[in-house]
Structure 1
Amino acid sequence: MLAVVQQTLGITAPVFSMLFVGVALKRLGWIDTAFINTASELVFKGTMPTLLFLGIVQADLRTALQPGLIGYFLAATVVCFLVGWGWAILRCPVTDRGIYTQGAFRGNNGIIGLALATSMYGAYGLSVGGILGGVVILSYNTLSAIVLAIYSPNAKTDPWSIAKSIITNPLIIGVLAAIPVAYFQLQLPAWLITSGEYFAQMTLPLALICIGGTLSLTSLRESSRMAISASLMKVFWLPLLATFGAWLCGFRNAELAILFLYFASPTAAASFVMARAVNGNHELAAAIIVITTLAAVVTTNLGLFVLQWAGWI
């Protein structure tokens, strides 16, 4: 058992330690809000689309593109969304239900989930994670826009606005651009691949540092029962439900582990941005991000330990 614990810590510790590096750098004054905003935009618009593009281009698409895995992930995401929404109706004031629901189901898969999948399974984890990343972007943005629109009257809820935000998303563009290149096995110049790898290698450390720099202990101290409840849904109940469902459907080994890592990821920082954009309770959104990020250090390791101890991954 000790070997399993050491292995899971070896996978998760480097990722989560970068979050705490971001916290320290912000406190020391080495990075500020302007840097975090600029770096986050660079990651979103440039380095992460490049990382996803290269991960798919260099992968065996016939191996990474698994309809059953993608179909289950999408179905489980919708179920988790509905469970979180239903619980929000029971637990929250009307004005906070959209924020609660988004915080309970929207994971930071593009950064935390992808980093852990890559750390654990290398190129295969990056390839499968990149494919799932496209599904994540489509499903999370659409479902979040819907639930925030219902409870936040300032949100743009018309079909064109939602469709435009999806079509112009750089991460989706990176994934879609890579699929034909990988499928037809087009050969890109070696210098272009190398330059792209240099650029893409900035993604995970820079993004993790930025997330760490945005964490606020003040929002944690001021969090309410709603924040704790949503956080428990995000890092415990919904990952348990989704991973158990995946096991019942026959997923094992790398596929089951990657599904777990994606469902167990802490709440995405984008939920805070969307909450502010619709004039929602962004303090609640920030508190959920802080709590889930800290709690995921424990729950992710515990989940991997259980899955490895049971011999399922």
Structure 2
Amino acid sequence: MDSLIFALNAVMPIVVMVAIGYAIKRAGFMNDTVTRAVNKMVFRFFLPAMLFLNIYEISDLADIQFGYIIYGAVATILMFLISLPLVILYTKHQDRRGPLLQSTFRSNNALIGVPLAEALCGSAGVVAAALLSAIVIPLYNVLAVISLSLFSGNGGRPNVKKMLMDILKNPLIQSIALALAILGVRVLFVKMDISFRLSDMTILFKVLRYLSNLATPMALLALGAQFEFSAIKELRREIIFGTAARTVVWPLISLGIAYFFFRDTFTAAQFAVLISIFATPVAVSSVPMTQEMGGDVGLAGQLVVWSTLISSLSIFFSCFILRLVGIFG
């Protein structure tokens, strides 16, 4: 029961914010033009600030255990590679393939992952989640750009040069690269006994924090504003495929393999982090990115909403089963 309550507490605020966004749209305070503008701001300013701070604020780089990090990254890449031909076979709509493929591997780790890991394993879970985020969040964004570029209206023929340019020009990837570079400089400064942190630049740090704090609520309000119940019937097949892959199929496979082959290697905190990347819903950031790259933004939004609703059960069962087999005390 505790696991179910936690799962509901993790996902219900997201659902409520989406519902508020929908109500705001119905009340006439937001229209399609405003929603698109909000998504642009989220993608170009708010999310980059949030990702930058999430990675920059990693404090403990000592004694990193790379096993679970490698497993999480490899599993994510395999999800992408296996899902790619399945998505092509499943839907004939070119603009739906990108967001559908994206939904299979891109989890809401930035929003739910760290709180989930902390609730399950305390400070050890926070450290493990932060370290894994530094790897999987850049990976998510690179694979997401590839997913959307593959089906961006060129008949499915990949343009490698354009794809690379899309990756390099992506604000989320740029912010992550900058954060990793500054993090590396900070580590070097520590070795040289030089004490300096970005938080010492109070004005800049506060501005970044303000922008970061806007990312999630604004993205969720915009998601609710563009949600259309009338679209469910037309997108039903894709919604079922993406939601099932994100909340049932891949959690079962990836967590099952981790348990049977690595239960004596991974710690409880590391299993908690794996739940946070494999059993959580589709990332909210997938919606503004889909809009920016010309995919079916309606489908992207539907996948976020429905995977969020169903993920309360996937998180619950993941926690319950791993507790039952002795991973969590």
User: In terms of mean alpha carbon deviation, does 148-157 or 229-238 score higher?
Assistant: 148-157
Is this contact kept in 1: 2:118–2:124, CA < 8 A?
yes
Q: Which of 246, 250, 254 does residue 269 from structure 2 map onto?
A: 254
Q: Give the structure 1 partner of residue 27 of structure 2.
A: 28
Aligned pairs for 1:70-81 within 5 A: 70-81=69-80
More contact order relative to length (CA 8 Å, sep ≥ 6):
2
Are the structure 2 counterparts of residues 116 and 12 from structure 1 closer, same or farther at C-alpha, using a change threshold of 3 Å?
farther
- Give the number of aligned pairs: 312
Structure 2 runs not aligned, ≥5 long: none
Q: Which of 171, 183, 187 does residue 196 from structure 2 map onto?
A: 187
Aligned pairs for 1:1-313 within 5 A: 2-62=1-61, 66-93=65-92, 95=94, 97-114=97-114, 116-117=116-117, 128-154=128-154, 157-158=160-161, 160-165=164-169, 169-180=173-184, 182-183=186-187, 184-185=189-190, 186-188=195-197, 189=200, 191=202, 196-247=208-259, 248-249=261-262, 250-272=265-287, 282-313=297-328
Is this contact kept in 2: 1:220–1:291, CA < 8 A?
no
Cα separation, 2, equivalents of 1:218 and 1:264: 28
Cα separation, 2, equivalents of 1:203 and 1:282: 18
Cα separation, 2, equivalents of 1:14 and 1:214: 18
Cα separation, 2, equivalents of 1:262 and 1:170: 22
Q: How well do the aligned residues superpose, as a CA RMSD in angstroms?
A: 3.7
Deviations 1:158-213 (A, max 9, x none): 15414423587344145314422552444332745566545544443343333333
Structure 2 letter corresponding to 1:106: R
Shift of 1:236: 0.9
Shift of 1:239: 1.6
Cα separation, 2, equivalents of 1:206 and 1:232: 27
Structure 1 letter corresponding to 2:183: I
Structure 1 letter corresponding to 2:140: Y
User: In terms of mean alpha carbon deviation, does 62-71 or 241-250 score higher?
Assistant: 62-71
Shift of 1:24: 3.2
TM-score, with normalisation over the residues of structure 2?
0.74
Cα separation, 2, equivalents of 1:244 and 1:228: 22
Secondary structure (helix, strand or coil) at the match of 2:196 reads coil
Deviations 1:223-276 (A, max 9, x none): 232331222011110122122223332323222112212222322355455555
Cα separation, 2, equivalents of 1:51 and 1:226: 30
Deviations 1:78-135 (A, max 9, x none): 1111221243354333845545323322333333445644666677656544443443
Shift of 1:77: 0.5
Is this contact kept in 1: 2:121–2:272, CA < 8 A?
no
Cα separation, 2, equivalents of 1:5 and 1:165: 40
Structure 2 letter corresponding to 1:20: A
User: In terms of mean alpha carbon deviation, does 76-85 or 125-134 score higher?
Assistant: 125-134
Structure 1 runs not aligned, ≥5 long: none
Are the structure 2 counterparts of residues 309 and 143 from structure 1 closer, same or farther at C-alpha, using a change threshold of 3 Å?
same
Secondary structure (helix, strand or coil) at the match of 2:86 reads helix
User: In terms of mean alpha carbon deviation, does 148-157 or 217-226 score higher?
Assistant: 148-157
Are the structure 2 counterparts of residues 64 and 222 from structure 1 closer, same or farther at C-alpha, using a change threshold of 3 Å?
farther
Is this contact kept in 2: 1:51–1:201, CA < 8 A?
yes
Structure 2 letter corresponding to 1:221: K
Is this contact kept in 2: 1:45–1:171, CA < 8 A?
no
Cα separation, 2, equivalents of 1:67 and 1:147: 27
Cα separation, 2, equivalents of 1:209 and 1:215: 10
